[in-house]
Chain A
Amino acid sequence: MNISIEREAKGEKIYLVAVEGEIDVFTAPELKKGLLPLTEIEDGKLILDLNKTKYMDSTALGVIVAALKSAAKHNCRFSVIGMTPRIKRLFEITGLMDLLTRAQISGGSANA
């Protein structure tokens, strides 16, 4: 089980991270390592692209939550694109979707 993480600079302080493969307990640490530093860029913008993500389990959700909280702390706008209907459902049930929406409206402050 492998993932490949593509990081692309879209402009000053704007990054897109695309994940290909399955995010689970074995690959989640790699995603965390790739994602978290980018959430610490003050007033930055970070987009997580899940278009090529085939499967993700609860540990992947944990990484996204950690990224969301860190982004809020650093006023970094964090968004997730390319969710499959199944992932979207998981986000909706757990309330992560609400948190993401808030992160968009308030320009990063997920806890506002």
Chain B
Amino acid sequence: MGTMEDEPHLAVYRDLLARYVAQDSEATEESERLSELFHERGVSPDDLVAMHLDALKQIAVNPDRVTLRSIDFLMKMMSGYGHDYREHQELKSRQKQLDTEIDVAAEVQKALLEGKVPSCPFADIGAVSVPAKKMSGDYYRIVNDGKRLAVTIADIVGKGIPAAMCMSMIKYAMDSIPENNQGAPSSILANLNRVVERNVDPSMFITMFYGVYDPETHIFSNSSAGHEPGFYYSKRENRFVDLEARGLSLGLAPESKYKEYARRIEPGDMIFLLTDGVTEIRKDHDFIEREQIVEIIREVMHMPAARLVRHVMYELKKMQKYSFDDDFTFIAMKF
């Protein structure tokens, strides 16, 4: 069969058909291979019927008129299927091209958002962020300007590519905040809200938590724009409480104001921030409750922060049977 690939389709088809008609026992097996080859080469159903008609004319000494006419008729009937087939092939190649483009975009995004965790003399910090699909709608940023530590976590409401594009915008808006002047959480959020409100689709909005820790005063101040509350762990009380903060999500209304909350941090205290992918994770058919996340954290909170966050992610993934419906980001800060 080595020559099959080089010869014109019609000749190969005609010869094999002739052998099949003559009841050559090997022809059946070879026909399967030829069918595969035609399929690979994109021979459409109507082309194949046309080929059959030509081949029949060549091998039959006395082709019967009714048979020939009926095959001609079949060919006409197949033309719609041929059209579908070609369209399908085109869609397949376009899909492949799109996939490649998305892969490239995802790489670009990954590079843009390569979350760096700064080393910090007064806190041990760990962060983990995993997209549900190729691109993520989660964002986090941790900056230590030498005097203060600023932490941002955000979730773009929406999924996939639009959310990812929106997130890149947030990244640039955040990058325009001077490194050495991270500003008050309430005014940062109010400014960002204006940017988002003006620039995104009405159905999109962003939840964001912004916090600043000052090691001199030991005060952690924060504001929230509709973001899922994080957890504060008090070592002295050995207790977890919600880092409750209220505020409208970014992009909901043009002039939103944000309340600022402050809390004194003692040595050994911890702060955990998360995106709602974490609390919306389904456990079997139920949802994982916040208490269950606290239980998981409790078991591993003695670990260094970088290991702690990975461990929490692993446990949550296990509950979710190793897949996330939503992007997932988790940050731990141990003071």
Contacts and interface: CB of A to CB of B under 8 A. Distances in A.
Are both chains from one complex?
A: yes
Nearest to A112: B253
B226 A57 contact: no
Interface string A83-112: 000100010011110110000000000110
Contact of A32 (B160, B203, B248, B249): B203
Contacts of B253: 99, 110-111
B203 A95 contact: no
A98 B248 contact: yes
B254 interface: yes
Given A63-B203, A111-B254, A93 B228 contact: yes
B280 interface: yes
B207 A94 contact: yes
Given A95-B246, A111-B253, 7 more contacts: A62-B157, A62-B203, A94-B157, A94-B248, A95-B248, A95-B252, A96-B226
Main SS at interface, chain A: helix
Shortest beta-carbon contacts, A-B, top 5: A95-B248, A66-B203, A94-B226, A62-B203, A58-B157
Given A62-B158, A94-B205, A99 B229 contact: no
Interface of B: 155, 157-160, 201-205, 207, 225-229, 246-249, 252-254, 256, 276, 280, 287, 325-326
Interface residues of A, number: 22
A32 B201 CA distance: 14
A86 B253 CA distance: 24
Nearest to B155: A58
B159 A25 contact: yes
Contacts of B276: 58, 90
A62 B226 CA distance: 14
A57 B248 contact: no
Contacts of B248: 94-95, 98-99
Contacts of A94: 157, 205, 207, 226, 248-249, 252
Given A95-B226, A99-B248, A111-B254, A57 B205 contact: no
B226 A65 contact: no
B294 to A, nearest CB: 17
